[in-house]
Amino acid sequence: MKDLIYWLWFMRLKKISLKQKNMLIEQFLSPCVIYSLSPETLLMTKIIDEKTVNYFFQSRSLVQATQDLSYLEKNKITLLLRHDPQFPESLLNLYTPPLALYAKGDLSLLQAPLAIAIIGSRNPTVAGEKHAKLFSQSLSSVGITIVSGLADGIDGKSHWGSINELGSTIGVLGTGIDICYPRVNQKIFDLMAQKGLLLSEFNLGDKPLPYHFPQRNRLISGLSQGVLVIEARKKSGSLITVNHALEQGKNVYVIPGDIGTCNWAGGNQLLKEGAKLVTDPRDILEDYVLFDQWTDHTEAKTDVYNKQTELKLTNPNERLLFDLIKKGYRTIDELVAGSGLPINQVNSLLTMMEIAEIIQIKYGNILLI
């Protein structure tokens, strides 16, 4: 308990960088020891300058740390220290490892035998959302832990896909663990605190500052054996995560996308540079496990899904439109031409199919859900 107070105090020293803090810990082993150092000893380390030493002594108070500890206890949040057996060894090997991790949820997920990160656009297309849900559900169904950043878009869809399967998902935050960002993810944030795991290296109350997210991304790749990119622009946070993954020797997977849109340009560029192209979850699984059993499992699930969809298609004309959409017909004009039905009837049928959650219409394109 006493040790935690000093860690919480040490982590809140804003004018001492993470690199400097790591160097101080390597030299003195404990924040409790660092707290008691004299100005002369600190200056002799040459880790921080005289101005920072003055700041250090002005900040030598445990009041905020005591309040933080009380909050952690009341809200069932764990502060995982680097010498804790549950602290992920892979993160200790990072160039700049986190000092400690705030954690809420199922800590056993940190010891998962296989974790795959899924990352991508905050403003994905319908196709990108569909891929995120499919891949996260399929991988989670065989016990793989899905890691992502709890951002809007691909991240959120990936967490939802996993929660809807076995719940094996880890969200790495770019804020304090007491803050849900963006607010639109509050429901999945709360659910993951119960069925998955939330992690942050940032202090309680830390806001979503721009530099937090590139820093957060190294933990996403560090916790995973591989990183799957779904729909990323050429200049995006997803590519920062990929760079961390490559530096860490992790596998990089990419779902190819439309070469005519900027949303997929980053992923397509990664494919040109040697990332593994994937179109099916088995393309990822083959790098780690034998998946005969998984094939049987997913084929059975597909059969159930197809049967459920067929039950929703009570009207023969709905089935006709469904078959045309499966063949690639994407607009109302194409469906009118292909089906021979009047446009008002096609519109009415599509509305009923959308209500039944068989299709989704976005920007004039009709897609199967």
Handedness of CA 6, 12, 16, 17 (dihedral sign): positive
Residue 304 has pLDDT above 50, yes or no: no
What per-residue confidence (pLDDT) applies to 233? 85
Identify the weakest region by mean pLDDT among 192-206, 213-227, 341-355. 341-355
DSSP-based three-state secondary structure for 302: helix
Residues ≥6 apart with Cβ < 8 Å to 287: 226, 251, 276
Residue 104 contacts residue 193 (beta carbons within 8 Å): yes
154-163 and 186-195 helices cross at what angle (nearest 10)? 40
Residues ≥6 apart with Cβ < 8 Å to 195: 105, 106, 163, 167
What per-residue confidence (pLDDT) applies to 308? 56
User: What dihedral angle (degrees, nearest 10) is formed by the CA atoms of 78, 3, 99, 90?
Assistant: -70
What per-residue confidence (pLDDT) applies to 143? 85
Residues facing 177 on adjacent strands? none
What per-residue confidence (pLDDT) applies to 235? 81
> How many angstroms separate the Cα of 213 from the Cα of each of 54, 176, 218, 238, 343?
30, 12, 9, 10, 48
At 61, give phi and psi (nearest 5°).
Answer: -135, 140
pLDDT digits (tens, 9 = 90+) for 213-255: 999 999 999 999 999 999 988 888 888 899 888 888 899 999 9
Residue 147 contacts residue 172 (beta carbons within 8 Å): yes
Average pLDDT, the chain: 88
Residue 151: which of 110, 123, 109, 190 has the closest Cα? 123
pLDDT digits (tens, 9 = 90+) for 107-144: 999 988 899 999 999 999 888 998 999 999 989 888 89
Identify the weakest region by mean pLDDT among 206-210, 282-286, 359-363. 359-363
Residue 365: which of 125, 151, 83, 167 has the closest Cα? 125
Residue 107: which of 168, 180, 191 has the closest Cα? 168
- Cα separation, 247 vs 334, in Å, equals 47
Q: What is the mean pLDDT of residues 270-276?
A: 90
Burial of residue 210 (CB within 10 Å: 0-12, 13-18, 19+) is exposed
Residue 298 has pLDDT above 80, yes or no: no
Residue 297 has pLDDT above 60, yes or no: no
Confidence of residue 351 (pLDDT cuts 50, 70, 90): confident
Task: Return the amino acid letter for 310.
Answer: E
Give pTM, 2 decimals: 0.77
Residues ≥6 apart with Cβ < 8 Å to 242: 119, 221, 227, 229, 252, 270, 275
Task: Return the amino acid letter for 320.
Answer: L
Residue 252: which of 233, 236, 273 has the closest Cα? 273
Confidence of residue 99 (pLDDT cuts 50, 70, 90): very high
Residue 128 contacts residue 263 (beta carbons within 8 Å): yes
Confidence of residue 290 (pLDDT cuts 50, 70, 90): very low
Q: What is the mean pLDDT of residues 332-353?
A: 88
Residue 51 has pLDDT above 60, yes or no: yes
Percent over 70 (pLDDT), the chain: 91
Residue 303 has pLDDT above 60, yes or no: no
Residue 368 has pLDDT above 90, yes or no: no
Confidence of residue 105 (pLDDT cuts 50, 70, 90): very high
